[in-house]
A and B are shown apart, each in its own frame.
Chain A
Amino acid sequence: MSIFNKNFIAAGMAGVFVAGMAASAMSADIRVGITMRMISENGQRYGQMVMDEIDMINESGGINGNMLKATLMNDECKSDKGVANAIKLINQQKVHILIGSTCSSVSLPIVDITEKAGVPQIIPHSTNDKITKKGSAWVFRVPVSGRYYAGVNAKYVGENIGKKIAYLCAADAASQNDCDAMQSQMKSQHGADPAYVAQVQEKEVDFRTHMQKIKSAGVDGIMIAALAETMARALTQSYEAGIPASVRRIGSSSASNSPVPSIAGDAAKGVFFAAAYAAADSRPIARLFNEMVKKRYGVNSPDHDFSQAYDLVRITEIALKNADLKLDDENLAADRTAIRDAIANVKDYNGLASGPISFCAAATPQCRDGNRTAVLIAYTKGGKDYKTEVLARVTMPIDFGL
C-alpha cells in the first residue's frame, strides 16, 4: 500500500480539514448561547429579535472588533430540555454568556447549572422570585421579579378596589408565583385573606363553575394568573357568568401579552396588571421601539417580553464592551468571570424598562434583580387593535418582598 494511495491522501486531507475547523471554531468570537421558549404566540419573535439585534451589533463592527456568535435553542418551557440546552451551550458551544429562559420552571434549574459551570446567565423573561433567592453569583435578571409586581398590585388593589379578592391560578411556575406572592402581599399589606382560590390546568378551557362560585362569593376583584390564552378565556367567561365590570379583573404580568386582549376582545377592557413596560409609554424611546417592532415583526403595541429582550441585548452589549476579554481557549473561565463582573457593574441603565436597571456584585436578590420598577397598566380597549393606559409607575424598595 503506497502512501500515495488515494485513500490515504483523502484521509489526510480530511484530517487537516477537521483540525483546521476545530482550530477556527475557537477563534476570537464572543459566543452567546440563548435558550428560550420558541413555540408560543410570540416566542419566535422574541428569539428572532435577539438574533436580529445581535446581527446588527456585528454589522456595526461588533464588540471592540470581536464578532458575536449566537446560538438560539428552543426549550419548549420544559425544564429537562432547558437543562440539556444549557449544558450543550456551555460545553459544546463553549459560550461566554448564556441568555435564558422564558419560563420560570426552566430558568430555575439552569441557575444551578450556570453557577456550577461558572457561566454568566442573564434572564430575559422569568419572574419567579426563587430564581435570584438561590444565591447564585452568576445569574442576572432583567425582568421585574414577581415580588415587586405583587407589591404594586396589592397596594393598588387594596386602596382602590377592595380586600375581597378571588384567585384563579394556572399551573405554571410564573403564574403560581404571582398568585402566591399576591396573596401574601394582600395579607401583609391589608390583612386580607383570599375569598376564593382555585388552581387550574395550564390550558384550561372551562371556567364557568369557578366564575359561578366567585359570583356567589361577592368579591371586589378577581385575580387571574395564567398564560395569555388561558387568561383570555377566563376573562371572557367571567363576563358570561354575569360578573359585572365593577368587579375589577386583575391580571398577572402575562396579561401584557397580546393574545390576552386580542382573544378576549371586550372582556379585556378594564383589566389591569403590573408589567415592566407599557406600549402606551410616551417616552420617545418607547415610541421608536413600538414602531420598530411593528415594522420588523408585525406586532402592534409590543408587550414587556419584547422590551425586556431588547433591554437584555443592550445591557449585554454594554457589559461585553466593558469586559476585558482574551477570547482564547485557555482563558474561557477568566473571560466568563470578566463578563459576569462587567454585568454586575451595570448601574442605572435607562432603556425601555420603566425605571433604571442596576446590578451589583453580591449574590443576593437585591443585587441580581436589577429592575425594580413596575408599571400598572389597564386595557382601555380590547380586540386585535387593543389600547392601554398607564395607571401608575412605581419603583419598589430594593428589599421589598424579601
Chain B
Amino acid sequence: MTAIYSIFGRISETIEKLAAIHRLLPWILAFALLLPLPQILSALFNDYYIYLANKICIFILLSVGLNIVKGFCGQVTVGHVGLYAIGAVSSALISLHFGWSFWLAFPIGILAAGLAGIVVGLPSVRLEGAYLALATLGLGESVRIMIAVTPLFGSSTGLLSIPAPTIGSFTFDSYTNYYYLVLAAAMIGIYLSFSILRSATGRAFMAVREDTVAAAVHGVNVTKYKLLAFVISALYAGAAGGLFAHMPPGYIHHNNFTIIEMVTLLLMIVLGGIGHIWGGIIGAIIVTIIYDQTLEFYFYQPLLFGLTMVLIVIFMPRGIGGMIDRYLATKKFIASQEEKSNAAS
C-alpha cells in the first residue's frame, strides 16, 4: 500500500517539474504516453480491452462532468443521464436525417445538451438538496420516456447505423481508431476540468457548495454559478453522448439511459471521490474494470455495486481520491516535522 502511495507522490513531483517548464507539457506527455495503448493492450491481452478503453474514456467524460456540478458545486443532480441521452440522440439524428458529418453533428449535440442543461439547472436556483434531486430525477426520466415513445427519436427500436466519423479517407470505425478520438476528447475534458476547477470559477463553485448564503455575502453570484455548473456538466454529458452514439456499432436505445446507468455514474464519482479533482477519472476507470472482471457473477453484480455505494458513503465519504489526499498530506506533514526536528538538532 505504502509503495502505491509513494508512487503517487513521485508522479506528482515529476508533473510539477514538467509543468514548471510549460503549462501544457504534462498533458501533451500524458496524451503521447496513452496513444499507443491500443497496440499495447492488443499485444498483452486482446482487442476487447481496446473497446473497454473506449468505454472508459466516455465514462471519464461523464463522471468528470457530473463531479463538477455535484462534487464541486454541491448541486444534487440525478438527471445526468438525460443530458447524456440528449447529446447522443441529437448528434445521431442530425447525422442520420440531414446527413451532416460527425464534425457538425457532434458540436450541435453538445450544444443541445448544454441548452438542456440550462433547463435542468433552472430548478437548482430555487431548490436545494432532495427537492433538487427529485426535480432532476423527473427531468431525466422524462427525457428517456420521450425517446421511448417518439418514433423520430428511435422509440423502442432504437437508432441504427449511426455513421462513424471520418477525416478524409480515415474512418473512425474500428475501436483502435475510435480510441484516438475519445482519448483526445477525454484529455481535453480533463484538462478543461482542471482549468475550471483551479480557477476563480472553481472556487466560486466550492463556495456555493459550502454555504450559499456566505457565498452570496462575499459577492458570488450564486444563481450564475449554479447555472454555469449545470451547463458545463451538460456540455460534458453531451460530448459523451455524441461519442457514444457514433461509436461502432452506432446504435442507441432508450434503455441505455435508465436510472441504472445514473446510479452507475453516481457510484463512479462516489468511489473516485466526490469533489476531488481526480474523482471522476479514478472512479470511471475502477468501476468499469471491476464491472468487467465480475461479469460472470452477473447474478450478484448489482448487489455488489449497491453495497459498495452504501459502504463508501458511510465509511469512506471522500472516496479513493480523498484517501490519497489524506495520505499525501500526512506524508508531507511527517516530512515537514522531520525537517523541523533535523533543523533543530
Q: A residues near B, CB below 8 A?
A: 38-39, 73-74, 76-80, 83-85, 87-88, 90-92, 94, 104-105, 108-113, 116, 128, 130, 134, 169-173, 175-177, 199, 201
Known: A88-B48, A91-B48. A176 touches B160 (CB 8 A): no
How many angstroms between the C-alpha atoms of A110 and B251 in the bound complex? Answer: 10
Q: Does B156 contact A (CB under 8 A)?
A: yes
Q: Which residues of A contact B149 (CB under 8 A)?
A: 171, 199
Binds A, one of B30-38, B185-193, B253-261: B253-261
Q: Which residues of A contact B250 (CB under 8 A)?
A: 109, 112
Q: Does B295 contact A (CB under 8 A)?
A: yes
CB-based contact A130/B160 at 8 Å: yes
Q: Which residues of A contact B160 (CB under 8 A)?
A: 108-109, 130, 134
CB-based contact A173/B48 at 8 Å: no
CB-based contact B47/A91 at 8 Å: yes
Name the residue of chain A whose CB is nearest to the CB of B247: A83
Name the residue of chain A whose CB is nearest to the CB of B141: A201
Q: Which residues of B contact A199 (CB under 8 A)?
A: 148-149, 155
Tell which of B48, B155, B253 touches A92, judged by Cβ atoms closer than 8 Å. Answer: B48
Sort A-B residue pairs by CB-CB distance and give the 8 closest, nearest first: A112-B249, A109-B251, A176-B156, A74-B298, A91-B48, A171-B148, A91-B47, A109-B249
Q: Which residues of A contact B107 (CB under 8 A)?
A: none
Given pairs A78-B255, A108-B157, A171-B254, 11 additional interface contacts (CB within 8 A): A39-B299, A84-B52, A87-B51, A92-B45, A108-B160, A109-B249, A112-B251, A113-B249, A170-B156, A171-B149, A176-B157
CB-based contact B248/A79 at 8 Å: no
Interface string of B280-314 (1 = CB under 8 A from A): 00000000000010011011000000000000000
Name the residue of chain A whose CB is nearest to the CB of B47: A91
A sample of 21 cross-chain residue pairs with beta-carbon separation below 8 angstroms, ordered by A number, consists of A38-B298, A73-B295, A73-B296, A73-B298, A74-B295, A76-B298, A79-B253, A84-B52, A88-B48, A91-B48, A105-B157, A109-B250, A109-B251, A112-B248, A113-B249, A171-B155, A171-B254, A173-B156, A176-B157, A177-B157, A199-B155
Say how far B246's CB is from chain A's closest CB, in angstroms. 13
Say how far A323's CB is from chain B's closest CB, in angstroms. 24
Known: A79-B251, A108-B160. A91 touches B295 (CB 8 A): no
How many angstroms between the C-alpha atoms of A111 and B249 in the bound complex? Answer: 9
Say how far B327's CB is from chain A's closest CB, in angstroms. 29
Name the residue of chain A whose CB is nearest to the CB of B175: A87
CB-based contact A91/B158 at 8 Å: no
How many angstroms between the C-alpha atoms of A102 and B55 in the bound complex? Answer: 23
Say how far B119's CB is from chain A's closest CB, in angstroms. 22
Q: Which residues of A contact B248 (CB under 8 A)?
A: 112-113, 116
Q: Which residues of B contact A83 (CB under 8 A)?
A: 249, 251
CB-based contact B295/A79 at 8 Å: no
Tell which of A84, A128, A134, A201 touches B148, judged by Cβ atoms closer than 8 Å. Answer: A201
Tell which of A85, A90, A109, A172 touches B156, judged by Cβ atoms closer than 8 Å. Answer: A172
How many angstroms between the C-alpha atoms of A134 and B161 in the bound complex? Answer: 9
Known: A112-B250, A176-B156. A105 touches B51 (CB 8 A): no
CB-based contact B46/A173 at 8 Å: no
Name the residue of chain A whose CB is nearest to the CB of B149: A199
CB-based contact B51/A173 at 8 Å: no
Interface string of B234-273 (1 = CB under 8 A from A): 0000000000000011111111100000000000000000
**In the complex, chain B residues 22-57 whose Cβ is within 8 Å of any chain A Cβ:** 45-48, 51-52, 55
Say how far B71's CB is from chain A's closest CB, in angstroms. 25
Q: Which residues of B contact A134 (CB under 8 A)?
A: 160-161
Q: Does B145 contact A (CB under 8 A)?
A: yes
CB-based contact B155/A105 at 8 Å: no
CB-based contact B48/A87 at 8 Å: yes
Q: Which residues of A contact B155 (CB under 8 A)?
A: 171, 176, 199
